[in-house]
Homo-oligomer: A and B are copies of this chain.
Amino acid sequence: MAANRTCNTSTALLVIDMQNDFLLEDSAIRLDGGLAIVPNVIKAVEDARRRGFVVVWVVREYDPLGRDVELFRRPFYANGNLKPTSKGSKGAEMVDGLVIKPEDYKVVKTRFSAFFDTNLQSFLQGAEIDNLVVVGIQTPNCIRQTVFDAVALDYKSVTVIVDATAAATPDVHAANIYDMKNVGVAAPTLEEWCASSN
C-alpha cells in the first residue's frame, strides 16, 4: 500500500453494528459468521484512516425499557432478561479491536437503515461526502437498507466490501450482494478495495 496516498475527504466509511451483542459467541442474538469478519473490518478502518476518510460508527443503542425497539424485537425486552445493545451496556460496546477515535463520528440508530430517524444525512452533507463505503453486519438488514437509502439519496458511489460484511448464511449474503450490485453498488473484496484509489 502506497504510503503517500492522497487524502480523500469526500469519502466516508460506515461501520455498522459491530457491537458485542451481535457478535460474541455467548450472546443469544449473535450473528453466525459475524465474528469471522472482525479482522477485515479492523483492516478496512485502518485503511480508511490512512486515506483520510471520515469513519462513521453506526450502532444500535436502545432504551433499557425497550420503548424505542422495533416491534418484532420487543419480546427480547419484555421478559427483562436480554435487552440487547441496551444504552450503556457492555453488549452495546464495540467488539474488541474496534475503537472509536475522537476524530470519528458516531450515529445511534434504532431501525435498520443508518439514515432512518438519524442525522446521518445532515452530517454527511455538511461534511461534503459524496462516496460511501460500508462494512459491518448484517447484509440483508442494516447493510442493505443503508445501502439502498444511500443509492436513493444519490451518493456518487456506494461500495460494500464483500468480505467485511456478513449475513447468517453465505447464501443470504450472496443473494443480497447480488441485488445491491444490480442497483450500481460496487462490491469489491477488502484486498481489491485496499488496492483501489477510492
Tell me the A residues contacting B by CB distance below 8 Å: 63-65, 67-68, 71, 102-103, 105, 109-111, 117-119, 121-123, 126-127
Measured between beta carbons, the chain B residues less than 8 angstroms from A63 are 105
Contacts A118-B117, A119-B110: A126 and B64 contacting too (C-beta < 8 A)?
A: no
A119 to B127, CA, bound (A): 22
Whether A117 lies near B110 (C-beta < 8 A) is no
Chain B contacts for A127, CB-based, 8 A: 67
Contact B117 A119 (CB under 8 A): yes
Copies of this chain, whole number = 2
Bound state CA distance, A71 and B64, in angstroms? 34
Minimal beta-carbon separation of A132 from chain B (angstroms): 16
| A103 nearest CB across to chain B (Å) | 7
Q: How far is the CA of A122 from the CA of B113 in the complex (A)?
A: 14
Contact of A105 among B68, B103, B118, B121 (CB under 8 A): B68
Our pick among B102, B118, B119 for the contact of A64 (Cβ within 8 Å) is B102
Contact between A105 and B67, CB atoms less than 8 A apart:
yes
B residues in contact with A103, CB < 8 Å: 65
Give the chain B neighbours of A105 by CB distance below 8 A. Answer: 63, 67-68
| Contact in complex: B68, A123 (CB < 8 Å) | yes
**B65→A126 contact, CB < 8 A:** no
Q: Which residues of B contact A123 (CB under 8 A)?
A: 67-68
User: Nearest 10 pairs between A and B by C-beta?
Assistant: A117-B119, A68-B123, A110-B119, A117-B122, A67-B127, A68-B119, A117-B118, A67-B126, A67-B123, A63-B105
Given contacts A65-B103, A68-B105, 11 further A-B contacts (CB under 8 A): A67-B105, A67-B126, A67-B127, A68-B122, A110-B119, A110-B122, A111-B122, A117-B118, A117-B121, A117-B122, A118-B118
